[in-house]
Chain A
Amino acid sequence: MAKLRVTFTFVGVQVQEPVIWQLSQKFAVKTNIRRADIKDDIGWVTLELEGEEEVLNQGIEWVRSTGTEVELVTGDVIG
């Protein structure tokens, strides 16, 4: 099982969509929310995702396909 700490950013109408719930329904990915800030037009949620690596990758691709931005919580590590 692989774990990944990420931040989802929702913009516009995406804020109202149950993306995290859908992710766990569509893929065998465990979601564990740690921090969040949701406003009318933008919101972000920091969470840990856990699952088989391939399933995790598919899940992230699906989240991105909804228009949600997915980034590592550590930020870019290339210096």
Chain B
Amino acid sequence: MAFATALKCRECGREYPTDPLNVCEFCFGPLEVKYDYEAIGKTISRDRIQNGPLTMWRYEDLLPVDAANAVDLQTGFTPLIKATNLGRVLGLDHLYIKNDAVNPTNSFKDRVVSVAATKAMEYEFKTLACASTGNLAGSVAAHAAKAGMSSYIFIPSDLERGKVVGAAIYGPTVVAIDGSYDDVNRLCSELADTYPWAFVNINMRPYYAEGSKTLGYEVAEQLGWQAPAHCVVPSASGSMFTKIWKGLNEFEDLGLIPKVNTHMHMTQAEGCSPIAAAYEAGTTRVRPVKPNTIAKSLAIGNPADGYYSLKVIEDSHGDATIVPEEEVVEGIKLLAENEGIFTETAGGVVISGLKRLVERGAIKRDEVTVAYITGNGLKTIEAVEELVKPVHISPTMAAFHEQIPNP
């Protein structure tokens, strides 16, 4: 059963029924799911979680939907890998990679969409929708297919062919929009107001966002029921960053793990770093930017959770790192060549950001550190294809030895 009791405005505190709403009608502040933690505390336990499915739904008590009807592609409980090789290179003895690129549609978005799709079914919506530049599109289309819902995917008209195919294969209506980033955002907000659709990150947003908490729960459980000293996380809207922190703190509050002393480190690429820029400027007011980064999955210029991310940084004594664009691919290579994990550009931002954090002494050698890898490298192959330089030979041993004298 679900323990969600209401939606609560993060600004003025007004409460609403658990309806498909995303902003407070009074002050237009964002809404967040409120739970009956007392009741959850009487139900949840380490044993109950460990006896649950090997998916994100093992944490059903802390998700705002009825898990019995979950729209589930077997998302979550992804590997937490001890990264000994990369740790050696960077100078960390306890580095772990949370490899969320192995989810059903190859990104962490399956966590949030699984919750949003389940909630949409509870509300008896017939259509699931989103605006996306890649990861979200594929996930929404796949979950709609699984749920037997129709789906609409809105994309910028210049989106790479591979990403369009990655969503279109599941059978959604794909609508390519000519216009600026602002135009696409605005049109989709208007569509969400006009049609009876479950727009996953608009009218489903409070529920959708809760799916990211499972990234905090899983890491704590996989580390033997304890929070790490450091989380290094990529950020676009800032939602996942705040929810990992929320997840860890919920576990502490419910007595599932000891006190959380985790430092939350946000990483953003230079070409779209509005939250990290606000952190560096010492303000909690995030100035929107026009994204211009190769890390397209992080290209949110007006981040909805920017302010709340900065509060998490403050509360966790963490920080934010801006990664120069030219270091994004270096990060991808560093992870691939040392750990055999091919990540998309957001992962490159995380690994290069991690390197900078170690170099400036923010993370010490003996501290347990988790780097979140949230998407698969095959999604952003164009970012690294110039690195691929195969040796061409004719099919003879002589030609092979000529090109590779000492194999």
Contact = CB atoms under 8 A, between A and B. Distances in A.
A72 B185 contact: yes
Given A75-B304, A78-B184, A34 B27 contact: yes
Interface stretch (B130-138, B218-226, B318-326): B130-138
B117 to A, nearest CB: 14
Contacts of B299: 78
Interface in A1-48: 2, 4-5, 9, 34-35, 37, 42, 44, 46, 48
Interface residues of A, number: 21
A76 B26 CA distance: 21
B288 interface: yes
B181 A78 contact: yes
Question: Interface centre among A2, A37, A69, A71, by most B CB within 10 Å?
Answer: A71
A78 B189 CA distance: 10
B132 A74 contact: no
Contacts of A69: 287-288
Contacts of A5: 23, 28
Contacts of A79: 109, 130-133, 135-136, 200-201, 236-237, 300
A75 B302 contact: yes
Contacts, number: 81
B27 A77 contact: no
Interface residues of B, number: 41
Contact of B285 (A44, A75, A78): A44
Contacts of A77: 131, 185, 188-189, 192, 199, 201-202
A78 B11 contact: no
B133 A78 contact: yes
Question: Interface centre among B11, B181, B185, B306, by most A CB within 10 Å?
Answer: B185
A48 B189 CA distance: 14
Question: Interface centre among A2, A5, A9, A77, by most B CB within 10 Å?
Answer: A77
Contact of A78 (B26, B192, B300, B305): B300
Interface string A36-68: 010000101010100000000000000000000
Contacts of B285: 9, 37, 42, 44
Nearest to B155: A78
A37 B283 CA distance: 13
Contacts of B132: 78-79
B301 interface: yes
B29 interface: yes
A48 B109 CA distance: 31
B287 A76 contact: no
Contacts of A76: 181, 185, 237, 300-304
A42 B189 CA distance: 27
A37 B27 CA distance: 13
Nearest to B190: A2
B186 interface: yes
8 contacts: A46-B28, A71-B288, A72-B189, A73-B23, A74-B304, A75-B302, A75-B305, A78-B300
Can you list the 5 inter-chain pairs with the closest CB atoms, starting with the nearest?
A: A75-B304, A79-B136, A76-B300, A78-B131, A71-B302
